[in-house]
Structure 1
Amino acid sequence: MRRDIMSYETLKEGSSGSAVVELQRRLLAAGYNPGPVDGIFGAQTKQAVMAFQRANGLVVDGIVGPMTWSRLLGTSATAEAFVQRALSQSGDRYVYGAEVNLADPNPSAFDCSELVEWAAHQVGVFMPDGTMNQIPYCQRNNTVISIDQAKRTRGALLFRPEHVAISLGNGMTIEARGSAYGVGSFSANREWTLGALVPGLRY
């Protein structure tokens, strides 16, 4: 069974161990020379990571986080699969602060950020819990886009203070909107403060 992206630790120069061995093997298989496959993340491995990132349109920082792992592992996590998982929960209850088992294929209640976290996990991509964590996570991974672009991009995220929705790309969202609404599809024509893509998803 394929490990999901969140189970791959973030690696950088100075890291060591079996995860670095896997990284070095993946880089070699992709045609990049990390030096000896010795489990030590040194300068040559960092140069190979940066070359891989540059060639794949990623942030060139030499740090192997979710997006770099995603490309190295050839994940099939797509924005459409993410959207479909979220849509499958239409009609569920909204419970503020809800915590679900991320491996549960059909929870019964969500809050807004938990729906995003759960749907991402279901397709093998990591997203932290809480909008206060999801926004900086997207910012660190350079996936922030304009609000208009997010409204037009299926699977993009739309943020407002203490709330997040998933854009359906057609002027609608799927979201856990509040106790009066539950999980469902709603108009995206509201005030938003930030748009972003989910790091690690293919759009």
Structure 2
Amino acid sequence: MKKKIVLVFFLICLMLSLPATAKASLGDVLLKVGSRGPDVVELQTKLNYVGFNVGKADGIFGNMTKEGVMNFQRANSLAVDGKVGPMTVKSLNKVYLQKQPQTLPQAQTQNNVNSILSTAKQYIGVRYQWGGTSPSTGFDCSGFVYYVFKQNGITLPRVSRDQYTVGTKVSFENLQPGDLVFFSFSGNGVVDHDGIYLGGGQFINSSSSKGVTIYTIGPYWKSVYVGARRVI
């Protein structure tokens, strides 16, 4: 009996120790009618953005979402089954990225940077919420980045792993305010966290422990740093 209690306690501790910021990326899990959650929100957002209306991005894969998926699959010469697996996601991401805004003139770019940093700082103290994309519910890391840029007319992919694919690669030495900075808490180089670089070695992000806050990129953050992208 004691051994069983010890085993249960061990399993509980193991579950609690898993990183709170780890999340599946769109395409990791097959989505179909009945699926729910942040991946479905991302799917619906992208379908709406590329012109396949599925209504409100509510995170519920219903018949309207299925119809939008089938229309997208039909238009892109994919197997038309209304289910979203790796091939459909790959095609959707490609079309989505092709519709992203082009590079802005330098003066307008600087104005955008200032506006983005100002917007980001407005939400310091907003709590962390896995899958969150608004100040009313809380933000996860990529949800915060997505929201801030969206408020400034720039639509990014929903999750950090996909955000790492847009824009231009930037070296650590050439970071500028407004750049996106990416990290891998798992230590395997797979992006699972990001934020917005403020300048002076600092970035703003939504962390699972403190919500929206500013950190200095010191020894710890450098140890999990993956790279940066410039999208404005």
Please classify the TM superposition score into its range, dividing by the shorter chain length: 0.5 to 0.7
- Partner amino acid, structure 2, of 1:154: P
SS of equivalent to 1:123: coil
Cα distance, 1:166 vs structure 2:
0.8
SS of equivalent to 2:165: helix
Aligned pairs, number: 127
Cα distance, 1:172 vs structure 2:
1.2
Mapped contact 1:77–1:123 kept (Cα < 8 A): no
Cα distance, 1:68 vs structure 2:
2.5
Mapped contact 2:164–2:228 kept (Cα < 8 A): no
Structure-2 residue corresponding to 1:78: 112
The match for 2:169 among 144, 150, 153 is: 144
Structure-2 residue corresponding to 1:194: 227
Mapped contact 2:133–2:147 kept (Cα < 8 A): no
CA RMSD between the two structures: 2.8
For the pair 1:94 / 2:94, whether they are aligned, the reply is: no
| Distance (whole Å) between structure 2 residues aligned to residue 149 and residue 84 of structure 1 | 21
Between the two structures, name the one with larger relative contact order (CA 8 Å, sep ≥ 6): 1
- Partner amino acid, structure 1, of 2:156: M
The match for 1:183 among 186, 206, 212 is: 212
Mapped contact 1:99–1:114 kept (Cα < 8 A): yes
**Unpaired stretches in structure 1, ≥5 consecutive residues:** 1-6, 11-62, 101-105
Instruction: Flag the structure with larger Rg.
Output: 2
- Structure 1 residues 103-130: Cα deviation after superposition (integer angstroms, max 9, x where no partner): xxx5351011011100001011111110
The match for 2:146 among 102, 114, 117 is: 117
| Distance (whole Å) between structure 1 residues aligned to residue 169 and residue 213 of structure 2 | 24
Percent identity among equivalent residues?
24
Mapped contact 1:131–1:164 kept (Cα < 8 A): yes
SS of equivalent to 2:199: coil
